[in-house]
Amino acid sequence: MHALLAAQGIDPWIAFFSLVTVVITVGMGFWTAGKSKSAGDFFVAGRSVSVGWNASAISGEYLSAASFMGVAGMVMATGYDALWYPVCYACGYLFLLLFIAGPLRRFGAYTIPDFAEGRYDSPLFRKIAVCFVLFIGFFYTMPQMKGAGTTLAYIFPGLPYWAGVVVVGAVITLNVSLGGMKGITLVQAFQYWLKVFAITLPIFVLASIVGHYQQHLEANKTAQETVAAAPAGIERKALPAKAPKDEQWIAPFGKLTTKAVDASIAAAKTPEAKAALEANKQPYSLLYTYSLIIALVCGTAGLPHILVRFYTNPDGVAAKRTTMWVMILIGVFYVFPPVYGVIGRSLTPELYDAVGAKGTDKVVLELPTLLAGRDHPLLGSILSGITCAGAFAAFMSTFSGLLVSMSSALAHDIYGRILRPASSPEQRLKAFKWSALIVGVTAVGLGSQVEALEINFMVGQAFAIAAASYFPLLFMSVWWRGMTMRGAATGMLVGGLSALASITLTSVSDVAVAKAKKLTDAAELAAYWADHPLAKGIADYWVAHPLARILCEQPAIWAVPLSIVLMIVVSKATASTVPADVRMKMLVLHAPEALGLKQEYIKEHEGLGGH
């Protein structure tokens, strides 16, 4: 068996740890399936999850392939600027805690569409709001699928990227349709601890042998230093031409934020045009940085699969405590992925030359195997096996969480409320399973198309859509009495859809450009662009207008204010349609639960004949 695996280039330890993770995940799904019987259990786990479990589960669900693999890959590829991702992923929770978590929990509803309907008494608004669960969800599943394809292609070197996507997609879809959310809570919590273990242990062992985080960082010279002060014993391999230079990599406003302008400079014809673009490079980078920060911080508060978990807390105080613990748990985790990126730059620079599933996104998996070359062959394999297990935990848990949210939206809202309002709980449960299948297949189809895009970049884009749609909706609905349904809907739709459109444009043209880059023959290349005139037109437009490219790639800086301004303007214009009992709704959102207003609110509605 060992010889057979080795002959195919498969490391038995890596395959073993990955398999164990998958078996435990699926096994727990089956085991808990027997325990979740009612439809309520399936959707929000009977609202009886303790703070510790829930915080671990939220963190487990939140730490996706982007956090586990993407952050390290992006830090390695672009340097300092990529640090904004882990910081804002963690700090976005603060906004959620400060403005949204408590009130939303007091209001008492299953999902964001529930909240949208309850706050504005509008079943129509629920239908609008539910669309964004699917939009954001699909954008967020694509990078998870890329993580799955990359990891499986690493474990089984002969396996094509798409096959990994299909295998992982099938396993998780099966698991979710069997276990529902109750199963997922337990599995997610377990997976958080697995991920922390899998990211920390290998890096501690590795750093003790090849040198520490700050030593490898010190080996990169800044623009102010004339020679790199590489500490004794720190080895660095020669960087390939594609890798960014030290002083750009270690300093802010590097490759990540200047890519668009650099492309334009390369294409500029006159020295004057080049000089003008050079002058704009730094200000545009600053703009890019702020837009990214807004997207990530506001987007966290609008992620559908995270918010739904706050309803599984027994009360608002528990919801707040949970958020605090989530911030600590994910903050501790996020210190480590950049370390892989920094050490990877010194020791595995060959990844800069590779593309797609073989590029820097796999540095977390690849780095521990270096120990094999340093007289620790077994240790290298075992540690690489552990990081693979962590990667599996990462994309499996996030994909499961998204699958539950999206399938719930389909089963609970589209089927249960729009198509068949009279359906029985059994029918809805069945619909949930079918929905999981539909969502799973779609996600696999989309995921197999995005090999060329960076994992972390794609997640950032899902955040930007959430930031421009759900975040303004939640924030304004919780804190402003004057909001009307039309105002909320206009702002959410225009902001969210324009962010969605500009991001789709960027991704589609980037995928097309990446495909074109693979073509070496000039005639083939010309034929390819002739077949894709739109992508060619967009790509050329970006080169001519780098600012437009930045604003489309990172739309949050204009889309979030646009959404909020529209909400205010349209609400003012339709002020007569402010829900009549808005004072009562605001009281439920803000009054301490000790006053017991929620029951009162529900009774009033029942008394009115309700909906």
Partner 1 sequence: MRESTPAPDDIHSDAFLARLMRGQLKLSIACALCFVVALVALPLLNYYQPAFMAQRIAGFTLTWLILGVLFFPFVWIISYVFIKRSIALEDAEAKAAQDGLTK
CB 481 within 8 A of CB 583: yes
Residue 339 CB partners (closer than 8 Å, separation 6+): 72, 203, 207, 213
Q: Which is nearer to partner 1, 225 or 531 (CB)?
A: 225
Nearest distance in Å: CB 216, partner 1: 8
Nearest distance in Å: CB 259, partner 1: 17
CB 368 within 8 A of CB 380: yes
Nearest distance in Å: CB 596, partner 1: 10
Nearest distance in Å: CB 321, partner 1: 7
Going by C-alpha positions, the residue among 459, 407, 417 that lies closest to residue 136 is 459
Task: For residue 222, give the DSSP letter.
Answer: P
Residue 586 CB partners (closer than 8 Å, separation 6+): 481
Contacts with partner 1, residue ranges (CB under 8 A): 80, 83-84, 87, 90-91, 93-95, 97-99, 102, 212-215, 217-218, 222-224, 229, 231, 250-253, 282, 286, 289-290, 293, 297, 316-317, 320-321, 323-324, 327-328, 331-332, 334-335, 338, 479, 580-581, 583-584, 586-587, 590-592, 594-595, 597, 604, 608
Nearest distance in Å: CB 553, partner 1: 17
Q: Which is nearer to partner 1, 214 or 424 (CB)?
A: 214
Q: Which is nearer to partner 1, 329 or 512 (CB)?
A: 329
Nearest distance in Å: CB 315, partner 1: 11
Report the sign of the C-alpha dihedral through residues 48, 97, 457, 330, in that order.
negative
Q: Which is nearer to partner 1, 445 or 482 (CB)?
A: 482
69 to each of 75, 344, 494, how far by Cα in Å? 10, 12, 33
CA 83/CA 104 separation, integer angstroms? 30
Report the sign of the C-alpha dihedral through residues 17, 22, 23, 28, in that order.
positive
Nearest distance in Å: CB 152, partner 1: 30
Going by C-alpha positions, the residue among 361, 349, 366 that lies closest to residue 240 is 349
Nearest distance in Å: CB 334, partner 1: 7
Q: Which is nearer to partner 1, 55 or 171 (CB)?
A: 55
Torsion of CA 175, 179, 180, 184, to 10 degrees: -80
Q: Which is nearer to partner 1, 226 or 520 (CB)?
A: 226
Going by C-alpha positions, the residue among 444, 449, 414 that lies closest to residue 432 is 414
Q: Which is nearer to partner 1, 572 or 583 (CB)?
A: 583
Q: Which is nearer to partner 1, 374 or 603 (CB)?
A: 603
Per the listing, tokens 């952050």 go with: 71
Per the listing, tokens 């309002």 go with: 421
| Phi and psi at residue 545, to the nearest 5° | -130, 80
CA 515/CA 517 separation, integer angstroms? 5
